[in-house]
Copies of this chain bind each other. A is one copy, B any other.
Amino acid sequence: MSQTRRRTRQRDAVAALLQQREDFRTAQQIHADLREAGDDVGLTTVYRCLAAMTESGEVDILLGQDGEARYRACSTGHHHHLVCRSCGFTVEVTAAPVERWARRTAEEHGFSDVTHTVEIIGLCDTCATS
């Protein structure tokens, strides 16, 4: 019954890497980043850490159109993302009007227990000018 979450070098490494990055990265990229930094962590473990951190709300997942999941350490509250399709640079945004619209629309059609996904994908300032 004592589901104690243990602190390990690997978990710390993954968490630390995500903290110092502000873009969305794939599990494989994170794995490579860690290896490059000398913090060798098994790919399987990277996936497990990310899954655990996702469940506890520490990271957000974004499923790209190429079928690859991207991860990022985000603020804990409800928010959405404005993502650069070229470099992955991400801005967290809140969207009160969207929340209202989603709730009302769902109600109108008799839907309950609703969640929603809202992402804006574009080119950031730097990528557009280069």
Residues of A within 8 A of B (CB): 61, 63, 65, 67, 69, 82, 84, 91, 93, 95, 97-98, 101-102, 105-106, 109-125, 128
Rounded to whole angstroms, the CA-CA distance of A69 and B65 in the bound complex is: 9
28 contacts between A and B (CB under 8 A): A61-B65, A63-B63, A63-B65, A63-B67, A67-B69, A82-B105, A82-B106, A82-B109, A84-B111, A95-B101, A97-B101, A102-B120, A105-B120, A109-B125, A110-B124, A110-B125, A110-B128, A111-B120, A111-B124, A111-B128, A113-B123, A113-B128, A114-B121, A115-B121, A115-B122, A116-B119, A116-B121, A117-B118
- Chain A interface, >50% SS class: strand
Rounded to whole angstroms, the CA-CA distance of A102 and B118 in the bound complex is: 9
